[in-house]
Structure 1
Amino acid sequence: MTRLQLLRFDHAPALLAFERENRSYFAASVPDRGDRYFAAFDERHAALMAEQAAGLCFFHVLVGDGGEVVGRVNLIDVAAGSAELGYRIAERAAGRGLATAAVREACGLAVAEYGLAELRAVTTLDNTGSRAVLARTGFVVSGDVDLDGRPGLRFVCDLQVQTV
């Protein structure tokens, strides 16, 4: 059974392994993080923890029974009751409903723990899996977006009326 956990310092080794293992898989649908992300991972992780402590972002990892990270669900740029949702699931765990369940749980946390009323998200047009997750979890299309030269869509979820 997987569990969504608020990111902690001790998640760093498993999170780095997750990002390395899935780098090419993720790069097929979202912009690659680049070599610097991996080279400076410890510094980046510490910076994320500081942002989270300040309430600017809420980072979550989806952890499997063996302690391995199989996904991430992040709420970033928290301001005025709103945040942007981002998520990624390991290739070996994809297609099992984990993203949908994790996004639903994050939406619940957004309201109950973080006091948010709205979430935003973006995805490329060709990322049909992500678009399906967003639709299943109450997000609606709110416009077009360019994501590093790739056409995409903006989504919004009003957490005050969400019923999924």
Structure 2
Amino acid sequence: MTDTLLALSTDHIRIAPLHADDACALAAITDESVTSQVHFLPTPFTENDARALIARSGGGDVFHAVRGGSDGELNGVIGVHRRAAREYEIGYWFAAHARGRGLATEAVRAVVDALAASRPGCAIVAECHPENTRSRALLRRVGFVSTGLVGRRPGRMLLAWRAAPLDRIDVC
């Protein structure tokens, strides 16, 4: 999927694929609050685990660094995963210090918009645990809606992205 997203910038962040030299910073932001939610991450998540995750990034699974636009600090990770010929899944985690600042919403929106623009007509999905209210709220702000279907991961529900804003009023 390296052909899908190479680099993006917004007002506050820069997004680009993770590289081997990101391993130490990736391990530092991937604490138990993350590993307890992301089923494929071991606890504790070590620098060696980070190196392995970065090394397997490519093809159908690309993990992107979300960095501060001014300081370059690693704030989070967004994964873009090819599920089927025209379907892509978005997943993410953010450092504790970056949460609650709107960076995740800004980053996920940028990735989804870029993916939709580069792959017209593709389906974009996400999986979220029903009790993860903050993540569900983020996904809703970006334009995801519940499909009512169970996700592939344990305890997750499948959400699908819709291009039109959910709160749009066409007639008053």
* Structure-1-length-normalised TM-score: 0.77
> Post-superposition shift, 1:77?
2.5
SS in 2 for 1:41: helix
Q: 2:112, 2:104 → 1: CA distance?
A: 12
The answer for the alignment partner of 2:53 in structure 1 is 44
The answer for the alignment partner of 1:24 in structure 2 is 32
| Further displaced range: 25-34 or 64-73 | 25-34
Give the % identical residues. Answer: 30
Q: 1:44, 1:4 → 2: CA distance?
A: 17
Q: 1:25, 1:44 → 2: CA distance?
A: 18
Q: How many residues align?
A: 152
**Amino acid across the alignment from 2:157:** L
SS in 2 for 1:156: strand
Higher helix share: 1
Q: Which runs of 4+ in 1 moved over 6 A?
A: none
Distance 1:110 1:78, change over 3 A: farther
Match of 2:159 among 129, 132, 155: 155
Q: 1:36, 1:29 → 2: CA distance?
A: 13
Q: 1:74, 1:17 → 2: CA distance?
A: 18
Q: CA RMSD in A?
A: 2.6
> Post-superposition shift, 1:122?
0.9
**Amino acid across the alignment from 2:15:** L
Runs of 5+ unmatched residues, structure 1: none
